[in-house]
Amino acid sequence: MTTTSARYPGLARAALAGLLVAVLAACVPATQGDTGTARDGDPASRVTVAMSVPASQWDSIATVNEVADNMYFSLLYDRLLTVGANGEIVPQLATGYTVSGDGRSVRLDIRSGATFQDGSPIDAAAVVANLERARTSGKAVATSRLAGVTAIRAEGAAVVLDLAAPDPALPAKLTGTAFSIVAPSAFGRLGTEPVGSGPYRLDRAGQDRVSFTRYDGYWDPRPRAAGFDVVAIPTTSTRLNALRSGKIDWAFVNLDAAAEIKQFHNDPAYRVTQVPTRSVFALNLDTRVKPLDDPQVRQALSEAIDRNLLNNSLLGGMCAPSVQPLGAGPGHLDDAPAGGPDVAAARATIAARAPGLVLPTVVANGTAAATLAAAVQPQLAEIGVTMQLNSIDGRSARPEFRSGHFAALLQQINAEVDPLLQLQLNYAGPDAPGGASPRLAGLLAAAGRPPLGSPQRTEALEAISRDLVAQPVHIVICGVPNTYIAAADIVGTDEMPMSNVLNPADVRTLMKAAA
């Protein structure tokens, strides 16, 4: 762990302006050139992709960092439902779902003929066993998403979840990493011998490299690569060097590599994909910690941030400055304030209400959030706040904040297919250790009643956003697109599930082009 309270001593706005990097002349398009599809791929080839952290365990309900586990788990396991490349909920092991007229039960039709990688059937009983295990596990991520479920039962080839109250977001919740479906026969040995439901078997798991081999009994007959090798490479620069040297075929890229993103975009040997998301960079605050329970102190922290400078100097102009909790889509406010800095007002508030404020902050090393934190630190110093940066392993940063070891976490808040779920997790769930105020809890509850996609739900989401703009809980900085770079011979880059939600995405669609 690296700890610092002054990584860039004396670096304030004027000095930071001198760090300007090349800004992309225009936004990277959603897809660059003809990306091809899996139908154009070579099923005999293997694909090597880069992840920022190594795999640590294989038990879906034990996940403490859904983002870190997503790529590994998505190759090994299917879920009942997932998020398509266009952001919609799509079938996986469930062919569809229906909600009862009163909204208090959800029926999932389980796919016929699907098998686990040991040949045993994926049936309603196996799904019930997985969901009950998640619901009663006591694990924060899994149990929080099923908190309103009162019973889970099999009805023929279907699974029914009974609810204490209507929850239109439940299908979206089931797309989460914690609901990867595993063989019940392997419940007791998932740490070392996982038996999955997905398109790839675990072949070898080393410290920095994991190999998967195609499971030919998988239910979906579409062509797939023969296997995947996932290499753990912590820093963006090292991942990009590995891509240049041909050691890897695909990588996700942090926005602090903006100049290099532009270089790759202009090189025909590579393909850059940038996907708009609802994700934002934010400084999450533990409002149990005084004086962070004071809304005026939190507002002062927000007023200290020069978002335009951070975006243009560090993030290539690709991270739209914002003070609202959703980067785009339903609930995003077109008329929200720009969030320009007001250093004098912020300094006066801190002097009056939180003199000498020290803010122990955790950040995942090797990430754009870490780069951003080092630039936010001197901006907070200008208003009299000492931001003590603690840079630790990417898999551990969120759990350390959630457990109360740090007062703040600078991170990329990940998008969810349902924006309400994104708000619940980050403002009333594990990433808000102080919980929601009664006012905010009421707004969140009200937004959960209308159907997904309805105008009433959008209005309720906008009410939450307005409340959080007026009285911030976390300090939002800017809206983040997901950026991926692949060698030009990799196809399927625009078909990746989860690609506009989590970064990194589900890479199962990637293949090398057929000769």
Give the C-alpha distances (Å, rounded to integers) separating 114 from 38, 108, 158, 203, 360: 21, 15, 14, 21, 48
In single-letter form, the type of residue at position 303 comes to E
Contact (CB, 8 A) for 275 and 500 = yes
User: According to the model, what pLDDT value does residue 9 have?
Assistant: 28
Closest CA to 381 of 343, 426, 419: 343
Single pTM value for the model: 0.85
Helix (H, G, I), strand (E, B) or coil at 92: coil
Query: Distance (Å, rounded) from C-alpha 303 to C-alpha 412?
Result: 20
> In the chain, where are the structural domains located?
2-23+277-479
Instruction: Compute the distance between CA of residue 421 and CA of residue 394 in angstroms, rounded to an integer.
Output: 23
Range list of β-strands (E), 298-401: 320-321, 358-364, 386-392
Tell me the pLDDT of the chain (515 aa) as tens digits: 433 333 222 334 433 333 333 333 344 444 554 556 656 899 999 999 999 889 988 999 988 778 889 999 999 999 999 999 988 999 999 999 999 999 999 999 999 999 999 999 999 999 999 999 999 998 878 888 898 999 999 999 999 999 999 998 899 999 999 999 999 999 999 988 999 999 999 999 998 999 999 999 999 999 999 999 999 998 899 999 999 999 999 999 999 899 999 999 999 999 999 999 999 999 999 999 999 999 999 999 999 999 999 999 999 999 999 999 999 999 999 999 878 899 999 999 999 999 999 999 999 998 899 999 999 999 999 999 999 999 998 889 999 999 999 999 999 998 888 999 999 989 998 899 999 999 999 999 999 989 888 999 999 999 999 999 999 999 999 999 999 999 999 999 999 999 988 878 999 999 999 98
What pLDDT, on the 0 to 100 scale, is given for residue 34?
Answer: 52
CATH H superfamily, domain 2-23+277-479: Dipeptide-binding Protein; Domain 3 (3.10.105.10)
Closest by CA to 315, choosing from 365, 364, 269, 274, is 274
